Amino acid sequence: MNAITPLKKAQPDQSSLSYPIAEPPAPGTVIAVAPGVFWLRMPLPFVLNHINLWLLEDGDGWTIVDCGFSTDEARGCWEQIFARYLNGKPVTRVIVTHFHPDHIGLCDWLCKQHQLLPWMTKGEYLQAHLVHKRLGGIEPEYMRELMMRHGLDDARMKWIEEREHLYARGVPTLPHAHRRIRDNETIAIGAHAWRVVAGHGHSPEHASLYCEKLGVFIAGDMLLPRISTNVSVWPAEPESDPVGEFLDSLARYATLDACTLVLPSHGLPFQGLHARVSALREHHRVRLERVTQACGVTQGPQRAVDVLPVLFDRTFDDHHLLFAMGEAIAHLNCLMHRGVLRRSVNGSGNYQFESTGKSL
């Protein structure tokens, strides 16, 4: 590991993003991105075909941040990393940012090997178990009911059942205990203090990690350089406002140092944190504006399924349609929470949204 020179930080251009490392690490290898902070990448069996994971030097051991989706290939990558890069020191801690299968998938496998409890927020720990066991509104019939309520045809819901199996495929087993981490808690990792920054809107209690001294922010899925984080309404909380929650989380990230190197779970590490926060705010502002106009007086009340073309300029396969619907409901709920739209039920039992006359 010592042969790898950490990245030198440049003063970033605040108006755009810069990517100090052009090429990601090959599978089973690592790249140093800051003193004691190493980047590794694992394959994912999706269109989004990779996840970035992080290895932090931690005194006599190593801390792993996020675990990868359970595949033989990903397990093979970990074994190569363990054999080549740990300098004979054990893995002494596993931190999980959130419950999604690409992040928590191999957590139990890693924790059992090293006899560890995963460090994660209670919200993510509980959510992982609920989704795994299909309890508390996660069951397919509730997803079907939510989508039906918002206007989606039965014929487009075939993927719902399959989606449920996908979680168990990526997360074959889960640990039955955890070490709880909380917002603002400081975790000493090696010589450095890392602060937990909880974020919302993408998952219940997503944990990002900020080290002020190193100027590094392990963002998880909350701050991605090229794609906007999925913010969806799910059946267990149909009235929720994940867009509002996500925008509140962005406000917290905007207080971090402008020179911070952001380590995202997908894409390349980048500088230009404030530019990215501004771009994501604008992304959602434009979408909220478009939805407000679509539900205005001329068009009359609109359902989530009706505003899909307003939010997205493409069509979706059945899998991605569920995420798109979740995002459409999220934008409508946000406007309802702000008093810009009101919700009612039409003659077919679908929710429809119309302008209250209040502007955004």
Give the residues lining the site for Zn ion (CB under 5 A): 100, 221
Shortest distance, position 166 Cβ to Zn ion, whole Å: 13
Q: Smallest distance from the beta carbon of 222 to Zn ion, in angstroms? A: 9
Phi, psi of 118 (to 5 degrees): -70, 140
Q: Which is nearer to Zn ion, 100 or 178 (CB)?
A: 100
Distance set, CA 294 to CA 18, 196, 316, 341 (Å): 36, 39, 20, 11
- Distance of closest approach, residue 309 Cβ to Zn ion, in angstroms: 26
Q: Which is nearer to Zn ion, 98 or 303 (CB)?
A: 98
The nearer residue to Zn ion, 266 or 284, going by C-beta atoms, is 266
Residue pair 262/219 in contact (Cβ under 8 Å)? The answer is: yes
Task: Determine whether 342 is exposed, middle or buried from the number of CB atoms within 10 Å of its CB (0-12, 13-18, 19+).
Answer: middle
Question: H-helix or E-strand containing 358?
Answer: none
Q: Least distance to Zn ion from the beta carbon of 107, Å?
A: 14
Q: Which is nearer to Zn ion, 28 or 105 (CB)?
A: 105
As measured in angstroms, the least distance from the Cβ of 284 to Zn ion is 17
Q: Which of 226, 213, 360 is nearest to 293 (CA)?
A: 360
Pick 192 or 202: Cβ nearer Zn ion:
202
Cβ 331 vs Cβ 243: under 8 Å: yes
Structure tokens of 285?
A: 């502002």
148, HSE (Cβ side, Cα atoms, 13 Å): 12
